[in-house]
Each structure stands twice: as structure tokens, then as C-alpha cells.
Homo-oligomer: A and B are copies of this chain.
């Protein structure tokens, strides 16, 4: 594909939305269709495979919104009424005896013949057990009609819905004990970089600890993926080919770091030999170099290796790709406009995602926006978006993306 975008210091920069559109197009073409049927308790974080239609009216019958008394408005003459039955939630009432009322509790079915419920606070029980109503009564008051919330056949959740606690609770309220979901996306995570050492080991000269492995593996788990931890890529072409070739039944190889270097870039060589490799220079900061291609038909996304860059490019590009693979339509995080609490005097040629917080309603940013470690992100509540070619003064509107929107 030809470069798209406008020239940056080091070549043509691709706008974030162009890169996202290309990734989503590829994901659309590779949609996962295999599915499995799971009990609700195991379906959390998974994606609904079929539209969920209601097989019930909810409520299934008119029920009481209050603890009180059910009666017929026409029977209310100002004289007290005797109580002919008591109806708890879960009980099936008999038809209301004319000229009487029924004691009724919240959620209980309203008996046939009654057309209103008066709350107990407005009812006075006399010594003889009869009940006096003093307020004006209106038909339908405090009654939730049958089907008020849902009627049989209505679309409740469309295919492609991510199932969280709310969606699972909603499915349960319709009596579903199991749901058909798309099978888990299988993602192999590998790190490249001779300088990387796993935590717990001693650092040699020139070495640093690998933070992206745990960042991405734990994040992918939250997203409901099956994670294949493919370790640190060996520094050798044959071993690289063997490692990649050993990743069977994988939907995506997600790598971090290294591909931009060129010399000693065995991942890049392996992809060029047995697949395809595009190196994108994105108009994003932190971020910029992104690899997209495949190895023997398996898609590969290579994120930049600086942790803050890995975070931002995973959140804004790889996460949407993984959601769309499962058929999720709405893959971009919620952005909320807030006033900036900082000045931005020099326009950049890349779109910046600053690690920030809200203070008194304004977006403030971490003092050190270096992409080298995750301190800024651990401090932050969200990403503050500053568009390319923009300057800002405090009070100007910026978009804020809460980290909770992309982490789950």
C-alpha cells in the first residue's frame, strides 16, 4: 500500500484514522465465526454471536411498584374497604373480590379486577381491619403494566455485543441460562529486543526489564482473549522462523519493539520471506512505527517497544482490531470533551495522547511525557488527545479518554 498522509520529519506520516480503518478492514475480512455455547457465569467479556430476542414480556404480568393495597378505583367511595387477600411477590393472586382491596407487596402480581395500587403510607388500617384511603386514586397508579420494559420478540442485545455484568444480568432476566458467543481470540504475544530481560533476573550491561509482556498479557486476558505467551524472540533467523512457525491456531501475533531497527531485524526478515510486511509511520505520539503484515497467513501487528507507545498503540489500534475480529461494531473508546488545564504552545505533526487526569474538571498532564516507562500512565486516569497541527491555551476543549474505557 502506498503511504498516505503528509510529510513528517522522517517521511510521510499516516493519520491514526487511516491506520485504524485499514486494520478494521482486515479484521472484517478475517471475522471469527466459530462459536460456543456458555453458561452465563462463563460468558463474561465474550461477544454475543446471535441477536438476543426476548421470549418473555417483562414484567410478565401487571405488578405492584409499591408496598400497599390493590383495589378498583370505582370501588372507592370514601368508605373503608375490607382486605380480601394478601399477595406477596412470587404468589399468584385470585381475582379481586368486588368492593374489597388486596394487601400487596412490591413486585407482586396485581389481581384481576384491580386497577390501582395505593401505597401503604397513604392508607390507614382501622381497628376492624378495614382500610381507609384518604388520597385521590387514579387508574393505573403504582402499577407496572405487563410488557412495560420488554415484549416478546423485541431485540434485546444485538449480535456483536460485548457481554459484561449488565448484559449477562439482562439475559438472565429473560430466562437465558446460556448464550452463544464467538470463540476466544487467540493472540500470541512476543517481545523483540536483545536488551530485554525478564523481571526477577539480574540485569546485565545495557539491558532493561521487559515490561510489555506482562502489560499485554494481562490486558489481553481482561479483553477475554486466549493468550499464548511466546516469550522473547530469539536473536537468530532460523530460531525466529521456528518460533513463529510453532504458533499454531493463532488469530494474531502481537509483537513489541525492534522492527524499525533494520539490521538484525529477524522478525522483519522472516515476514518478508514468508508473508508480508508493511512498516507504517503513524502520526501518533507516543507511537509512530507500527508493523502490520502476516507470517504464513497469520496476521502480525508489531507495536513500538517503548512502554507508553505500546500502551497507546494497543489501546487505539490493536484493541479495536481484536474487538472487530469478534464482530463488535463500536470499537472506539468513549471520548469526552473537557477544558484543557495546560497550554500547548508548539503544534506537533503527530497526534499526541498525553497521560492526564482531571482536576477541577480540567485535563492536566503528567510532567514527564517520555514514552520510556509507564509511570505517567499509572499516574493518569486517561489519555488527553491533542490533534496534530494544533496549539492550545488553558480552557480550550480537548478530548479525554478514560483509561477504564480501553483497559476492559
* Known A177-B199, A408-B404: A372·B206 in contact at CB below 8 Å: no
Q: Is the CB of A169 within 8 A of B307?
A: yes
Contact across chains for A92 and B206 when beta carbons are under 8 A apart: yes
User: B193, B336, B372: which contacts A58 (Cβ < 8 A)?
Assistant: B372
Q: Report A89 CB to chain B, min CB distance, Å.
A: 4
Among listed A70-78, A102-110, A124-132, A345-353, interface-contacting one: A102-110
CB contacts (< 8 Å) of A121 on chain B: these are 9-10
| A51 in the interface (beta carbon within 8 A) | no
The bracket for how many chain A residues form the interface is: 35 or more
Q: How many copies does the complex hold?
A: 2
**Given the complex, which residues of B lie within 8 Å of A168, measured CB to CB?**
214-215, 218
Which of chain B's residues have a CB closer than 8 A to the CB of A165?
Answer: 214-216, 218-219, 222, 407
A368 to B147, CA, bound (A): 12
A376 CB to nearest B CB, Å: 9
Q: Are A402 and B403 in contact (CB under 8 A)?
A: no
Given contacts A173-B307, A175-B200, contact A405 B407 (CB under 8 A): no
- Identify the A interface with B (CB < 8 A): 9-10, 40-41, 44, 56, 58-61, 67, 88-93, 105-109, 119, 121, 144, 148-150, 156-157, 161, 164-178, 193-196, 198-201, 203-219, 221-222, 260-261, 263-264, 305, 307, 311, 334, 336-338, 358, 361, 368, 370, 372-375, 377-378, 381-382, 400, 402-405, 407-408
Known: A91-B194, A92-B205, A402-B404. 20 other contacts (CB 8 A): A41-B214, A59-B372, A89-B193, A90-B193, A107-B193, A144-B370, A150-B375, A164-B222, A165-B215, A165-B218, A165-B219, A166-B407, A168-B214, A172-B210, A173-B211, A175-B201, A178-B200, A336-B336, A336-B400, A404-B404
Q: Could you list some 15 contacts between A and B, CB below 8 A?
A: A40-B199, A40-B214, A41-B214, A44-B222, A60-B208, A88-B263, A108-B195, A149-B370, A149-B372, A168-B215, A170-B374, A222-B408, A334-B358, A402-B402, A407-B408
